[in-house]
Each structure stands twice: as structure tokens, then as C-alpha cells.
Structure 1
């Protein structure tokens, strides 16, 4: 075989069908950070990655170790139309409504959105998510202090199939908005209301009575939550698996014991175990206890 014939017989990577072979069988296994790097190799690689991103279903920036520049973020997502999961990790310091709204508008099949820590967004982004992404199931809003009653009500009105929502440190929210959410999103399985001094027994009881399939509930630091609402949780939420009540100083063992008996994982130790831990801290070693007594 002469040299010309040999070269013709060589199959190059880009000779393979892009949408039938390269994208579904090769690129889908590469971390996002590698895909971003590949874009800079050549014009062909840049075109290939753009085709891949156009049909990409998951975009998770937690896979990229460094903070991604705004220009790269907008470039990567400008043609996306099929996203089902979007995480804004590593761009929380700069992402704004102007950057996010076009992406939300062209990806109406989103089922999971994580905006946790995005301090520069406003209620407009949450309203846009609620209006565009009616199939939404999982939403992260931890430490988004811009979330208010109006935007949460919009979410509840349009995303009734919501399964989990993280509202940790959304300090503008009060009982009225949380109760409204509980009445509209009855399929909730996971809910965090942590670090919110506005949350009272009223919210927790409304959640218990409406969201009876609840499996995880985080009330960490909800200082106004008391034993009566925990008893209501124990009565109505028979599928509960995990409850966090650390720093809820008005919640005591009298309401937690019933949940412990059902093997619910609680982040506060029973009184006897807490006493042993304190004693060990004082003495410097674990005390000997005769368990046969």
C-alpha cells in the first residue's frame, strides 16, 4: 500500500458521526472542565463542544474547580435548549438576572435548579424559574436572602410537583409564605427552613399536615419552633427519615422521643448520650458504666 492509500485508510476522530457516536458515547463521559478545555484545542473541537452543549441535559459548575468567568458561562450556555439540571456553583459571586434569565427562558424542561449562594440575583430569577420551568422538582435557594414572599408564592402556584426545596437562611420568608408553599406543594419530600428566626410552629404544623410524604426536614436554628409542632410532625409525617433541630432551644426530648422510636435520624443526641459526652469532656475519658445493673 502506498503512502497516499495508507493515509486515506486512517480514520480521524472527527470522521466519526458527531451526534450518533462522539456526543452520546464519548463526550457524555467527560467532566465539564475537560470539555471547556477541549474547546480551546482547535476550531473543530470548539464546534464539536458547541453541538454537545446545544443538547446537553446537565450543566453542573461544581465540576469546575475554579470560578468560571462570566464570558465563558454565557458562551457555554448560549445555545442550550435541552437542560434538565442546572447548578450555578462557582459563579455565585457574579451571576445576575441578566445572565440567567435568557438561559431559563430557553430551557423550559428544567427539573433541577441550584441557585444556592447567588447573592446578586433577585426575585425576578425565581419568578422566571416558576413561570418557565413548570416541571421543576428540585430547587436550591440556600443563602439567597433576596427570596421573598411574592417570589415564593409564584413558585408554589406554578411548580406544584416540587419534591425538594432548600430555603436555608432565606431570612425574608415568614410563616405566611411557607404555609402557602406547603398547601400548594404537597408532594414535598425534602425541606430546609434552617437558620430562619421567623419560622414558628405555624409553618411547621402546616408543612406536617399538607406534606405527609416528607422524608427530610431541616429546622436547624429555628429558635421559635417548639415541641407542639414537632409532635404534629411525628403524627402526620409517617415517612420521615431525618430531622435536624440543632440549636432549636425550645425543642426537647418530650417531642423527639416518639420520632426516635421510629428510628428517625435526629441530629441532637438523646439526653443520656449528651450527658456522657459532657462528662467525658470534663474527665478527659469515658466513664465506666456497668450495663448489667
Structure 2
């Protein structure tokens, strides 16, 4: 930053100061008076920028930030490589395939992965490499991803032994064989959403219950007319820790299955049986007494609501014959 006044005087002597020396001294003084400034990228990346700044920036803004300069692109890539959670909804309602590939190309420590916004185009070729690089995954949401196949589910089951939560809602490609592979290879599975997986039948659910029932806490079999009492009873006998069960629209489920749930599932907290027309109130009453949250109101409550509705129309009813 140039010599100071003391250094100049010592080198020149008090009587030998030149005009050039005075200019050096003046420049030094101006630099000392100038306010200290630091660029954002001058801050420590791993100690400051990554944990305290970029971790709070939404993914959609990271995509814009990486376009600013090569340095910012390198910073964003370093941040993405250390991601623990990736939710495609943070990018937007529809994430392009190219953006998905760039965002996850270096990620190797993901624990949570939610890809519902990718449902229009996500294929095995897109997903399997991501699963292979992230064996620590504990939660995966693939709801509505209809272009995947049994291969993707096999890669997930084979490569992610710590998987605890999985959503396959509205994935029509999930069949009994795919579910068997999942049941065989995911010992930590606790929550499973199979809503509208209409290829699944009682046999597949029975196998799941026998293989992984001990650890299951939440299960949705909603909107599947192939699931009946045989599957529900086997779940009840093998899932003592089951807390949430969704049977909405399972038309073959009846009172026998619900009675077995009441007998064998002491941890049950919520049960969804709307549109299960063969489930009668006597089979639900035991669960109601235990405080289980049931989405179907008891008949007395329904009658009171009907009477209230009728009372509201009373002034308009002509009682004269």
C-alpha cells in the first residue's frame, strides 16, 4: 500500500523530501481515510455464506444467482452439493428437466427428496442416478410421477436402506411385484402412501403387512376398490404401532376389517373410511370410545344435522292440507 511518512523520512532524511514523496504521503492518507469495504464473495464460504446465507435462499433464486458470474455459480454449486433436503416445489409448480439435472448433479447427501412438480416428465433415467448418489435418503415423495416404472422403485429399495417415508400416491405403475421388492428391502419403512395405486390387491398388502408391519405407523390405501377386509385384517394383526390408516373409497372394506383394527391396533389415532359403504357404525363405536379420529360422523350426529337443516326450512313449509 506504499511507504508511510516515517519510512519516507527515515530513507530520505528530514531535509530531502521531494514533491513525489509528498504525493506518496497524500495518497497514503487518502487510503487510510477511505471506508473499508468487502465484497460478498470475500466472506468465508463454508463458515458464513453456505450455512448462514445460501441456506436461506429459495432454490428458484439460486438458479438466478448462479447466472451472475462464474464465482457465484461455483458458490451455488458448492451449496447444492451439500443439500440435505430437496423439494422441487421450491423451484416452481413446473420444474424443467434441465434445471432438475443441474440442481442435483453434485448432491450426494440428500435425506429428503420431493419431486411431485416433476410428474409430467420424470423418468427412470432422470431419477435412478440421483437415488444411486444418495443412499442416505429417508423421505421420498413421488406422488403423481406416472412415467416411472418398477425399475425406479427397485433402485430406491436396493440403494436406500434407511428409507422411512415414501409417497407413491397416484402412481398407477406400482403393482404387487414392485411392492414386494419394497417390503423386502426397506427395513426402516414407517410411512407409506399408496393412494390410488389401483393395481395393488389384497395379496400385495398382506405381504407388506407380514414383512414390514412391525414398523409401520402410517399407511394410505385410499381409492383402491381391490383392497378388502383380508388386507385390513392382516394389517391389524401385524402392525401394532399403526397410528394412521386411510381406507377412503376402499369399497370392499367392511365392518369385519374395522373390528379387527379395534382389537389389534392400540396405537391407532386416525381412521379414514369415508365412502366405505360396508362399514357399519357398531364396528366404529369401539374406536370412537378410545378417541380415534374418524372422518365419518356417528348416525346420531348426522340425524341432528339433518334436523337442523330441516328446521331452517320450516318457515317456508306450508303445513295446510
The reply to whether TM is greater than 0.5 is yes
Deviation of residue 5 (structure 1)?
Answer: 5.9
Deviation of residue 149 (structure 1)?
Answer: 1.0
Task: For structure 2, list consecutive stretches of 5 or more residues without a partner in the other structure.
Answer: 1-27, 315-321
Is residue 2:277 matched to residue 1:249? yes
2:254 to 226, 243, 253: 226
Structure having the higher helix fraction is 2
Deviations 1:215-236 (A, max 9, x none): 1000000000011110111111
Distance 2:291 2:225 in 1: 28
Distance 2:30 2:303 in 1: 83
The residue aligned with 1:93 is 120
Is residue 2:84 matched to residue 1:84? no
1:191 to 219, 227, 243: 219
Deviation of residue 279 (structure 1)?
Answer: 3.1
The residue aligned with 2:291 is 263
Deviation of residue 34 (structure 1)?
Answer: 2.3
Alignment of 1:119-134 (within 5 A): 119-134=146-161
C-alpha RMSD over aligned residues: 1.9
Distance 2:310 2:69 in 1: 65
The residue aligned with 2:307 is 279
2:94 to 53, 67, 73: 67
Alignment of 1:7-156 (within 5 A): 9-156=36-183
Deviation of residue 58 (structure 1)?
Answer: 0.1
Task: For structure 1, list consecutive stretches of 5 or more residues without a partner in the other structure.
Answer: 287-293
Bigger Cα Rg:
2
Alignment of 1:147-226 (within 5 A): 147-185=174-212, 186-226=214-254
Structure 1, 59-68 or 122-131: larger mean CA deviation: 59-68
- Normalising to structure 1: TM-score of the pair? 0.93
Distance 1:3 1:269 in 2: 80
- Normalising to structure 2: TM-score of the pair? 0.85
The residue aligned with 2:7 is none
Partner secondary structure for residue 117 of structure 2: coil
Distance 1:28 1:174 in 2: 43
Deviation of residue 161 (structure 1)?
Answer: 1.1
Distance 2:312 2:67 in 1: 58
Distance 1:228 1:219 in 2: 14
Instruction: State the number of aligned residues.
Output: 287
Deviations 1:122-161 (A, max 9, x none): 1111111000011000000000000011111111111021
Distance 2:33 2:112 in 1: 45
Partner secondary structure for residue 26 of structure 1: helix
Distance 2:128 2:188 in 1: 22
Distance 1:31 1:252 in 2: 48
